[in-house]
Amino acid sequence: MKHAGVFAILILFFLSVEAVCQPIQIKKEYASTLLELTNTLYDLQIDQPTHTDCGALACKNCNVLHTRAAESVYPFAVAYRISGQKRYLKAAKNAAFWLIRQQQADGSWKETPEEWTGTTTDQLLMLLLAYEVISDKLGTKEKNLWMNASGKAADYLYNVMKPEFASINYVATTTATLAKAYALTGVERYSKKARELAHRTISKMDDKGFINGEGGRGLGSKLGIDLGYEMEMSLWGLGLYARISGDTLVDNRVRQSLKEHLYFIYPDGSMDNSWGIRSNKWTMYGGATSDGCQALLSLYAGDDERYAAASYKNLLYLRKNILFGGLIGYGPHHAKVFESLPCIYPTFTKAKNLALAYQLEEKASRPNVKIPSEHTGWLRYFENLDVVQIRTKNFMATVTAYGYKDQMAGAKSKYMFRPSGGVVSYLWAEGYGALQASSVTEYSRPEPMSFPEAPGVKSLTPRISYADSSGYFTNLFEFDARLKTKQALAGSFSLEAKGELKNRNWINGGVAYSIDYTFADDFLEKKITLTYHDAFPVITITEPFILEAGAEMIRNNDSTVLINGTAKNFVFSTNPAAATLITGKDAQHYWAPYPALKAFPVELLVAPPSEGFQKTIVYRISVKN
């Protein structure tokens, strides 16, 4: 019997090794999800020839005909080439000519229901790429309409697009749009403008290749870094421009940048934009209105075998977020926290990304290799960002002290409610998935159509805070925190974050903090030291935990809480003499639209010291053996 057991274990081992080594049929995988999403979009399209809006896609959530949804013209065109089904060709034509009818006199398109016209670059690029795919199926009149509208839109972008006009992802996309416009029309000024914008964009890259230009305005152009928009928009825009134009300077900068960005694909394929300045749209598979990382990773798949593997992992994670009816939700728990279907934005943006990935991928299959996050036993400090990633046997975490400030808008800025202050913005556990994930400190709806109503929601980010007559103070509003990695001990990694508890206007409240982190294979420990220098409030330490399907939280006693998952269990433990343990307070409010998640809160109430001015609390999140 003993030999039989060993034999069975060996069989399972070799089967698992074979599964990992099995090549990824990458183009087939892209095509499969592309067709699934395209079928959903097809069913939403108005197709009655006599209808005023024939070709538009109906969004049942917003009750709006989003002009950007007409970017589905490209997924429809590619779906036609993949399948040969003429219904997709008809859908592509209908989408294109509806979009053309919506064009403004100056050549732009509004991003209905908003007045913003920067998305003209996205709409035009999809028209141009789709034209290349199906032009042989267009009549002379159709070709003329298509290219005349494209010329007007290209002229508009030529005149207005620059970092002073738009967030940097629009500028980066426009480099590809105008390069493609030049390739199809031969209008020389489009090529010159594309090169000018491309070089302006890479001038805003830091030494690691992160682009500073997604947030609020400084003296004209925008500042701030967002990993999600870079991986899902800006970098593939620059890379596609470089491929079309042969600009090796830009191409090399994108290649170097991608090497750094790859670390932010987690072991389960989720994309870590927990810390980015536009993380208010983070869905965990990517962003709600950005395109997707497959286009970028396919564009450079020949450089590094890990790129296709990362792309595939993210695709698998994306698939988990496709809801009944074929629409992509806002995150893993969308069906738990919303009764309504999502807006169609994530569905058509990810579809166009997969159409691009399919067209850009040069091989049918790629090796299924490990990506960086699948290797264990490392700490990586992104000094340019003040962001640290740690990977141990059972955990992967992101700790952020990214210090961007929207100095012009201050607390009115939608970019200043992302997590910071040296907090864990994402905690993933082997055999469980997301154990903790951040959301905005205060929820608002800066773009009412993109941000759903969510009254009373509380932040999912772990935090230190207090409230008194002076207001609410937390380390999440500390954008001047100091982060320092320490000498690693055997089998563990240490990290320290220091700062002040501040209010939404970045004003000190009178309590300083330091967090000493220890990440080991089987536990994460936090040692929090509070220094009361001008105020002596009761401090609340909040640790919300994401409950996977089937998981439950059980308060065991005054010092421990059990987190029982379907495949792995954890224990939250602390010293009851240092703090009072509270579980489940206001639990119904611990959910978020982005990422669509529901959490269960564990709190530690810390009374001020009876003597002196400091108090220390230590607690652990451990794997339960």
pLDDT digits (tens, 9 = 90+) for 420-475: 999 999 999 999 999 999 999 999 999 888 899 999 999 999 999 999 999 999 99
Q: Are residue 400 and residue 291 in the same domain, yes or no?
A: no
Cα first-last separation, the chain: 26
Q: Which tokens in the block code for residue 77? A: 């065109």
**pLDDT digit string, tens, across residues 309-320:** 999 999 999 999
Q: How many structural domains is the chain composed of?
A: 2
Between CA 624 and CA 564 the distance in angstroms is 9
| β-bridge partners, 508 | 502
Q: In which band, very low, low, confident or very high, does the pLDDT at 117 lie, cut at 50, 70 and 90?
A: very high
pLDDT computed for residue 3 by the predictor: 54
Does 171 reside within a domain? yes
Q: Are residue 439 and residue 518 in the same domain, yes or no?
A: yes
Q: In which band, very low, low, confident or very high, does the pLDDT at 487 lie, cut at 50, 70 and 90?
A: confident
CB crowding 309-341: b at 16 or more within 10 Å, else e: bbbbbbbebbeebbbeebbbbbbbbbeebbeeb
CATH of the domain at 500: 2.70.98.70
Q: In which band, very low, low, confident or very high, does the pLDDT at 249 lie, cut at 50, 70 and 90?
A: very high
Q: In which band, very low, low, confident or very high, does the pLDDT at 486 lie, cut at 50, 70 and 90?
A: confident
Domain boundary among 329, 348, 370: 370
pLDDT at 12 over 80: no
Q: Are residue 286 and residue 403 in the same domain, yes or no?
A: no
Bond into 595 cis (ω within 30): yes
Q: In which band, very low, low, confident or very high, does the pLDDT at 491 lie, cut at 50, 70 and 90?
A: confident
Does 8 reside within a domain? no
Q: Are residue 314 and residue 401 in the same domain, yes or no?
A: no
Q: Are residue 568 and residue 419 in the same domain, yes or no?
A: yes
pLDDT at 294 over 60: yes
Q: In which band, very low, low, confident or very high, does the pLDDT at 5 lie, cut at 50, 70 and 90?
A: low
Q: Are residue 220 and residue 156 in the same domain, yes or no?
A: yes
CATH of the domain at 343: 1.50.10.10
Fill in the amino acid letter for 522: D
Between CA 3 and CA 24 the distance in angstroms is 34
Percent of the chain with pLDDT over 90: 93
What are the respective helix, strand and coil percentages of the chain, to the nearest 5?
40, 25, 40
Domain with 555 in it? 376-623
pLDDT computed for residue 15 by the predictor: 45
Round the average pLDDT of the chain to a whole number and report it: 95
Domain boundary among 370, 401, 433: 370
Helix (H, G, I), strand (E, B) or coil at 360: helix
Domain boundary among 370, 388, 409: 370
**pLDDT digit string, tens, across residues 174-225:** 999 999 999 999 999 999 999 999 999 999 999 999 999 999 998 888 999 9
Q: Are residue 357 and residue 470 in the same domain, yes or no?
A: no
Q: Are residue 108 and residue 176 in the same domain, yes or no?
A: yes
Averaged pLDDT for residues 19-31: 88
Query: Residue 97's Cα: distance from chain center in Å?
Result: 32
Percent of the chain with pLDDT over 70: 97
The kind and range of the H/E element at 379 are strand 378-382
CA-to-CA dists, residue 153 to 6, 109, 117, 121, 126, angstroms: 67, 8, 11, 8, 12
Closest CA to 623 of 525, 541, 516: 525
pLDDT computed for residue 14 by the predictor: 47
pLDDT computed for residue 107 by the predictor: 98
Q: How many residues does the chain have?
A: 625
Please tell me what DSSP assigns to residue 363: -
Residue 25 contacts residue 364 (beta carbons within 8 Å): yes
pLDDT computed for residue 489 by the predictor: 77
Q: Are residue 418 and residue 307 in the same domain, yes or no?
A: no
Neighbours of 347 (CB within 10 A): 28
Q: Are residue 134 and residue 35 in the same domain, yes or no?
A: yes
pLDDT at 9 over 90: no
pLDDT computed for residue 1 by the predictor: 45
Please tell me what DSSP assigns to residue 327: -
